[in-house]
Amino acid sequence: MTAKIAGAVLLALLFCVPFAVQSEFWLSFWLLVLMYAFLGQSWNVLGGYGGQFSFGHALFFGIGAFGTAILQVRHGVNAYAAGAIAIALGAIVGGAVGLLVFRYRLRGAYFALVTLAFAEVARILISSFDYTGSGFGMLVPLARGVANFQFEDRRVFYVIAWVLVVIGALVAWWLENSRFGARLMAVRENEDAAQALGIDLIRTKVCAITLSGAMAATVGVFYVQNFLFVDSHLAFGPAMSIEALLVSIIGGMGTMFGPLFGAVVLHALGEAAKQITGNAPGLNLAFYGLLLILALRFLPNGITGLLSRHPARRSPESTHA
């Protein structure tokens, strides 16, 4: 409960940022934090609530980003329609990967490896064709205007990102208070028992990965509209996948505001490390690795666990009436 109040307060404060902060740098910083918080939430739906640890969420992000970029650049589709189609594509690819992977009962490390492989294959394919921008990426032509989903004022994008995070929190709330969510968590906790109680494992997991794919693709669409550029390494590379899982794990898996806490802390620390080390290349990944180890060792329930009055729901003393 404490964690939920803290999360709501943090969300309210974040809404004020564009009106309180003048610096372009800090606006961009908080914008990225929100974007990664929603990406983390997409991972959290599948990994945190469903227990299926994807190591390739970049696949869905990339589908969203390249989907909308290709539709706009190559086919002249309106930015909003392109975005909607790209999000639907993210859902479809999510469902297809899920059907393939869960039908063959891949779990745990095998699931993680297969998702990583899918993302890598997508990265290589996208880099191989002119149609998809080869290795150079896709540049969406600058044409400011509401009709093109391009806003002069960065604060509009900021508010959109904030709304996405709110939607993400509502999705998590729905999972915690619905039949689907109850079934998803049952599958996470024990597949045999879930099956015995009438839960269709494959269907439940495929639904979760479909939702997760659509959410991650939404971040890709948002990214492209904001930066008007995307390349295959950025979109499908492992760094994006790690970002998605890391903010969720550090913040607290299977919690409503975990990914938001994770994104704030991770990026605050990351920025600080950058300032100190003078932006040495590759250092951020080493830093992330270190943080992950520390988080798993000292904060198995993430930042949310730290805030919660019942830190580990697994600990024996956490009884309350």
Partner 1 sequence: MLEVRELSKRFGGIRAVDSASLDINEGEIVALLGPNGAGKTTLFAAIAGFVRPDAGSVRLIGSDITGLPPHVICARGLVRTFQIVQPFGALTVRENIAVGAHLHHASRRQALTRAEEVAEQVGLAPRLDQPAATLTVAGRKRLELARALATDPKLLLLDEVMAGLNPTEVSEIVPVIQAIRGSGVTILLIEHVMQAVVSLAERAYVLNNGRIIASGTTAEVASDPQVIEAYLGHGAAARVQSRLEARHAP
Q: Which of residues 2, 163, 200, 227 is near partner 1 by CB under 8 A?
A: 200
Phi, psi of 231 (to 5 degrees): -125, 165
**Considering the complex, what minimum distance in angstroms separates the CB of residue 183 from partner 1?**
7
**Considering the complex, what minimum distance in angstroms separates the CB of residue 188 from partner 1?**
8
Residue 194 within binding range of partner 1, rule CB under 8 A = yes
List the structure tokens of 146.
Answer: 């509401």
- Of 53-61, 174-182, 234-242, 275-283: span binding partner 1 (CB under 8 A): 174-182
Residue 277 within binding range of partner 1, rule CB under 8 A = no
Give the side-chain half-sphere CA count within 13 A for 145.
7
Residue 309 within binding range of partner 1, rule CB under 8 A = no
Residues whose CB is less than 8 angstroms from the CB of residue 107 and which lie 6 or more positions away in sequence, other chains included: 52, 191
Q: Which of residues 192, 276, 282, 309 is near partner 1 by CB under 8 A?
A: 192
Residue 196 within binding range of partner 1, rule CB under 8 A = yes
Residue 296 within binding range of partner 1, rule CB under 8 A = no
Residue 205 within binding range of partner 1, rule CB under 8 A = no
**Considering the complex, what minimum distance in angstroms separates the CB of residue 195 from partner 1?**
4
Q: Which of residues 195, 279, 285, 286 is near partner 1 by CB under 8 A?
A: 195
What DSSP state is assigned to residue 150?
B
Q: Which of residues 178, 227, 285, 289 is near partner 1 by CB under 8 A?
A: 178
| Closest of 68, 44, 19, 96 to residue 223, by C-alpha | 68
Please identify which residue in the block is written with the tokens 């599958």: 187
| Closest of 184, 243, 239 to residue 210, by C-alpha | 184
User: Of 297 and 320, which CB lies nearer to partner 1 in the complex structure?
Assistant: 320
Residue 99 within binding range of partner 1, rule CB under 8 A = no
Rounded Cα–Cα distance for residues 302 and 288 (Å): 15
Residue 239 within binding range of partner 1, rule CB under 8 A = no
CA dihedral sign of residues 219, 224, 226, 231: positive
* CA 173 vs CA 57, 190, 263: distances in Å: 22, 22, 19
**Considering the complex, what minimum distance in angstroms separates the CB of residue 170 from partner 1?**
15
Residue 2 within binding range of partner 1, rule CB under 8 A = no
Q: Are 44 and 181 in contact (CB under 8 A)?
A: no
Helix (H, G, I), strand (E, B), or coil: what is residue 54? Answer: coil
Site of interaction with partner 1 (CB under 8 A) = 177-179, 182-183, 185-186, 189-190, 192-201, 254, 313-316, 318-321
